[in-house]
Amino acid sequence: MAVRRTPATTQRTKTSKKRSLEDDTSPLSKRVKASANVAKPPLKTSARGGTSSTPTTLLNAIPTRLEVFVFGDGSAGELGLGTKNAIEVKRPRRNHLLDPKSAGVVNLAAGGMHAAALTHDHKVLTWGVNDLSALGRDTTWEAPMREVNGEGDSDSDESEPDLNPLESNPAAIPADRFSAATRFVQVAAGDSTTCVLTEAVLSMVGAHFARFRILLEPDDEVIEVQREPMLIPGLKRIVQLSVGNDFCLALDAEGKVFSWGNGEQGQLGRRLVERRRIRALVPTRVAIPRSRIASIHTGADHAFAIDSNGNTWAWGSNNYGQTGVTKGVGLGGSIVIPPRKVPSFVGKHIKMIEGGLHHSVAVTHDGECLVWGRIDGAQMGLDIQKLPLDDPNKVLSAHGRPRVLLQPTSLALLGCVYAAAGSDHNIAITSDGKAYSWGFNANYQCGQGDDDDISFATLIQCSAIDDKKLSWAGAGGQYSMLASAWKDID
């Protein structure tokens, strides 16, 4: 998942044009720091109705080059459209710099204010904010001086800020940063972190975990900011990655889950003892009872794991019930730890889950799109007044306002196959290749043409995508991406 970045995590922030969900002063819960939404590739259905965790599931749903479409706010270069006409994109626009013939993107990830892609010829492309080295390459650039006439007016058009061309143009991390003949299979992005998985090892391209960093054993060397790709030690046979705000999950071929990063909200699935808090930076197995995990999924500060029997486990921040665990919701600082099985998902055959800041969205193998969590910012995409508002076991209210949807609830979308969650907006893809969006929309991240919040799941319509069969979506902090399989007609 990917979310709006706060001043604590970057030097460059954008003031929202409308009401900001970060200004919430409700006693229901303390607002937590925004994080980066990681959009992950769909998982392969196994014959038994669960999910397969073989390496082949890491490739895009349709293993071919992709056409990429972007929309939302690009003031930090996160749309990857270059330096011109790239700030406010109200509807999906084809990214010409990610042309399927020349660039050949096959896998994508949306971070908070940066993005990454893998190409058919095994390059790692990155673009967007690089203040904390999330792009894994040098983007040092000095903005040109503007000449000002005697009356104090600029001779140039200042309607758009100067974008750093090294950040706003997708570019490859130098090949010599990786071992020779490296073949990549997945990319994942967080707030200020990018990870890439190869056929053999896991590398972290750029990383910054809030006030948590990276720890190297055996000398307990702490790396404040990792500026170029680094091999993550101690992890073998990894088959899937998932990255939250400032923590990472890795799944190995034996169905074991490992976590590292910031664990203050329980997102690592284990309790941290103060004197050993630095050990949070070392990949450590998450204790999930008697389960072989098939897939892993993250939100801002919470996480999910689906086991081989189809059960869903959750842990982490739960102040708005975003884990699906209802116990303790509404109490400030509610945290689920250790991982718990989510009762409401029993028998649901969950295919994938995406977490936002305070809400989550899931897709079942039967094509249902389920939503739950925070409800007062259009995050749910449904008519709140039709919910059982008088039933405290299903909807939690505060000061006379519905605040939390406790039970996963199905949207009126038929044949949903994929979903992505940003901090407070969402995108769902249906089996006919159409995209629907809803949620917070101050920066056009819902792609509907205006900046009004989208209360209901609404079809995204524009000429750029009307004739495309979309297969993937990514929801960043203030922007979004869509992708469809490229049909080479030459």
b/e for 129-164, b at 16 or more Cβ within 10 A? Answer: bbbbbbbbbebeeeeeeeeeeeeeeeeeeeeeeebb
Regarding predicted confidence, which is higher, 101 or 219? 101
Q: What is the pLDDT of residue 490?
A: 53
Tell me the per-residue pLDDT of 387-421, one tens digit each, with 9 for 90 and over. Answer: 999 999 999 998 889 999 999 999 999 999 999 99
Indicate the pLDDT class of residue 298, thresholds 50, 70 and 90. Answer: very high
Secondary structure letter of residue 144 according to DSSP:
P
Query: Percentage of residues in the chain with pLDDT exceeding 70?
Result: 77
Q: What integer best gives the mean pLDDT of the chain? A: 83
Q: What is the pLDDT of residue 220?
A: 61
In a domain, 4, yes or no: no
In a domain, 177, yes or no: yes
In a domain, 353, yes or no: yes
Show the tokens assigned to 319: 């102040």
| Total residues found in the chain within this entry | 490
In a domain, 385, yes or no: yes
Q: What is the pLDDT of residue 219?
A: 57
In a domain, 144, yes or no: no
Q: What is the pLDDT of residue 143?
A: 80
In a domain, 2, yes or no: no
Indicate the pLDDT class of residue 27, thresholds 50, 70 and 90. Answer: very low
Distance CA 16, CA 126 (A): 25
Q: What is the pLDDT of residue 272?
A: 83
Mean pLDDT along residues 68-89: 96
Picking from 66-75, 216-225, 447-456, which range would have the lowest pLDDT averaged per residue?
Answer: 216-225
Tell me the per-residue pLDDT of 314-324, one tens digit each, with 9 for 90 and over. Answer: 999 999 999 99
With 70 as the cut, is the pLDDT of residue 62 above it?
A: no
With 50 as the cut, is the pLDDT of residue 446 above it?
A: yes
With 60 as the cut, is the pLDDT of residue 256 above it?
A: yes
What ranges make up the beta strands (E) of 399-478? 401-410, 416-421, 425-430, 435-439, 454-459, 470-475
Regarding predicted confidence, which is higher, 216 or 80? 80
Indicate the pLDDT class of residue 41, thresholds 50, 70 and 90. Answer: very low
Q: What is the pLDDT of residue 46?
A: 33
With 70 as the cut, is the pLDDT of residue 196 above it?
A: yes
With 70 as the cut, is the pLDDT of residue 44 above it?
A: no
CB-based contact 239:263 (threshold 8 Å): no
Indicate the pLDDT class of residue 181, thresholds 50, 70 and 90. Answer: confident
Regarding predicted confidence, which is higher, 142 or 307? 307
CB-based contact 232:223 (threshold 8 Å): no
Q: What is the pLDDT of residue 144?
A: 78
Show the tokens assigned to 108: 């994508």
With 80 as the cut, is the pLDDT of residue 121 above it?
A: yes
Distance CA 28, CA 5 (A): 22
Distance CA 303, CA 257 (A): 11
Tell me the per-residue pLDDT of 381-390, one tens digit each, with 9 for 90 and over. Answer: 999 999 999 9
In a domain, 252, yes or no: yes
Domain that holds residue 297: 24-137+161-485
Decide: residue 308, CB within 10 A, 0-12 exposed, 13-18 middle, 19+ buried: middle
Q: What is the pLDDT of residue 22?
A: 42
Mean pLDDT along residues 283-312: 96
Indicate the pLDDT class of residue 34, thresholds 50, 70 and 90. Answer: very low
Picking from 49-63, 221-235, 236-250, which range would have the lowest pLDDT averaged per residue?
Answer: 49-63
Phi first, then psi: give them for residue 71, nearest 5 degrees.
-165, 160
Indicate the pLDDT class of residue 37, thresholds 50, 70 and 90. Answer: very low
Q: Report the CATH number at residue 293.
A: 2.130.10.30
Distance CA 127, CA 172 (A): 9
Tell me the per-residue pLDDT of 464-473, one tens digit each, with 9 for 90 and over. Answer: 999 999 999 9
Query: Percentage of residues in the chain with pLDDT exceeding 90?
Result: 66
Kindly report the number of other CB atoms within 10 A of residue 210's CB atom. Answer: 17
* Alpha carbon distances (Å) from 28 to 31, 315, 320, 415: 9, 20, 8, 35
* Among candidate residues 21, 25, 30, 24, the one with its CA nearest the CA of residue 332: 30
Picking from 16-25, 83-92, 240-249, which range would have the lowest pLDDT averaged per residue?
Answer: 16-25
For 344, the 3-state DSSP assignment is helix
Mean pLDDT along residues 52-77: 70
Number of separate domains in the chain: 1
Q: Could you tell me which residues come within 8 angstroms of residue 237 by beta carbon, excluding any fewer than 6 positions away?
A: 252, 253, 254
In a domain, 6, yes or no: no
Regarding predicted confidence, which is higher, 66 or 274? 66
User: Which runs of consecutive H residues, i.e. helices, occur in 53-202?
Assistant: 165-168
HSE, CB side, 13 Å, CA atoms: give it for residue 249.
Answer: 35
Indicate the pLDDT class of residue 180, thresholds 50, 70 and 90. Answer: confident
